[in-house]
Amino acid sequence: MKKIVVATDSFKGCLSSSQVAAAVSSGILEVFHDCEIVRIEAADGGEGTCAALTGALGGRMVEAVVHDPLMRPLRAVYGISADGRTAVMETATASGLALLGPLERNPMKTTTYGTGEMISDALARGCRRFLIGLGGTATNDAGTGMLSVLGVKFMDFNGRPLPGTGESLAQVADIDMGEMRPELKEAEFTAACDVENPFCGPDGAAFIYGPQKGADARMAEALDSGMRNFAAATMRALGTDIRKVRGAGAAGGMGAALLAFLHADLVPGAEMVLDASDFDRKAAGADLVITGEGRIDAQTSMGKLPLRVLRRASALGIPVIALAGDISPDAANPGFAGMFRISPPGCPRETAMRPEVAEANIRRTLAAILRGI
């Protein structure tokens, strides 16, 4: 083989996507010593997306002092492309659930203010294109905290300004965008959104994701009522109905905020990463594409990274094989030339999850596959 493309997700809890790609590359070179290996930074919009996109854009990581979901100071890291025009960030960096202890989780009180501060910092640095990974937030404020940093004002029925929190949504009566940062007129936003939940209702943000953020049944009901009120206020202010938009409920309603107020495109996370990585151009003419993730299961064929890679490569007429630490019995094969479990039978999970063991298993498995081709 003359050219092989490597586009793998991370093996979560074990290896980053770049570590997986390095092990795959070593396995290839054991068999095809002169093969051209094209490594494409890849992720599915979740963990590792910022690093993958920043690497794909030849960029660097920068730091900003922002606030966490409970308004405590936090040093947040995000990426800027080599040309300084594109910012890459994840909502979980400043507004993530992992930033709070179990007893601190309360989506009535938490805010996306810190994510707004990251965007503001990037605007000040000259960025006008934003790639944002949604998910993993501790918030259900419909992005109002983020928007307030960018100059959007939310007022109650007495004309008083409101903080951007989950509990304030029920009080929003008017929205004033007269003081939005002028740089936003030049900015373009794309958000990685891998959920299809609407903004509110039984399948909306509050009822589906509120409990994992600390909401009990009564709190979820109150949050959903607030979301409905906010949706009505948004309709009055913008003429945009955010209630039923697929993905509007992502990140506690931040999907809707980005869509309605910042005119963002909501796209599957893997597609955003593959577009930014210029997958189609780089893969053209390859003999084989290798993808994979930590576990291939029923969700893989519902749109996760390996499936997105498969679809793109298939359109180019290139066969694809998938590697995984484990393959679930319910995993269907959507068209891979092969799906391969890297761990040998009987290998304890604790052993298989050790990075050095996983790397060796990837190299061994792949070399055996390629020798058989």
Domain range summary for the chain, segments of one domain joined by +: 3-42+280-371, 49-269
Quote the pLDDT of residue 43: 78
pLDDT for the residue numbered 7: 96
Q: CA 339, CA 336: separation in Å to the nearest integer? A: 7
Assess contact for 205 and 253: CB atoms under 8 A.
yes
pLDDT of residue 18: 87
The amino acid at residue 202 is P
Residues 161 and 145: their CA atoms lie apart, in Å, by: 12
- Characterize 174-184 residue by residue with b for buried, 16 or more Cβ atoms within 10 angstroms of its Cβ, and e for exposed: ebeeeebeebb
Task: Look at residue 66 and give its three-state secondary structure.
Answer: strand
Per-residue confidence (pLDDT) for residue 299, from 0 to 100: 77
Give the model's pLDDT for residue 10. Answer: 87
Reduced to 3 DSSP states, what percent helix, strand and coil does the chain have, rounded to the nearest 5?
40, 20, 40
Closest CA to 294 of 316, 264, 326: 326
- 274-306 burial, b if ≥16 CB within 10 A, otherwise e? bbbbebeebbeebebbbbbbbbbbeebbebbbb
End-to-end CA, the chain: 10
pLDDT number for residue 223: 98
**Would residue 96 be called left, alpha or beta, if left means φ above 0 and alpha means ψ between -120 and 50 degrees?**
beta
Q: Residue written as tokens 């004309």?
A: 159
**What pLDDT score was predicted for residue 276?**
87
Run of H or E including 312: helix 305-315
Does domain 3-42+280-371 bear CATH number 3.40.50.300?
A: no
CA distance 193 to 247: 6
pLDDT tens string for the chain (373 positions)? 999 999 998 888 899 888 999 999 999 999 999 999 999 988 776 667 888 889 889 999 999 999 999 999 999 999 999 999 999 999 999 999 999 999 999 999 999 999 999 999 999 999 999 999 998 899 999 999 999 999 999 999 999 999 999 999 999 999 999 999 999 999 999 998 878 899 999 999 999 999 999 999 999 999 999 999 999 999 999 999 999 888 999 999 999 999 999 999 999 888 888 998 899 999 999 999 999 999 998 878 877 899 999 999 999 999 999 999 999 998 999 999 999 999 998 899 899 999 999 999 999 999 999 998 8
Is the overall model pTM greater than 0.85, yes or no?
Answer: no
Query: Considering only CA atoms, which of 16, 32, 39, 46 is closest in space to residue 250?
Result: 46
In one letter, which amino acid is 29?
L
Q: Which CATH superfamily is domain 49-269 in?
A: Glycerate kinase, domain 2 (3.90.1510.10)
Cβ(213)–Cβ(226) below 8 Å: no
Q: Are strands 60-67 and 3-6 parallel, antiparallel or unpaired?
A: unpaired
Which residues are 189's β-sheet partners? 130
Residue with tokens 């308004």: 71
Dist. CA 256–CA 243, nearest whole Å: 8
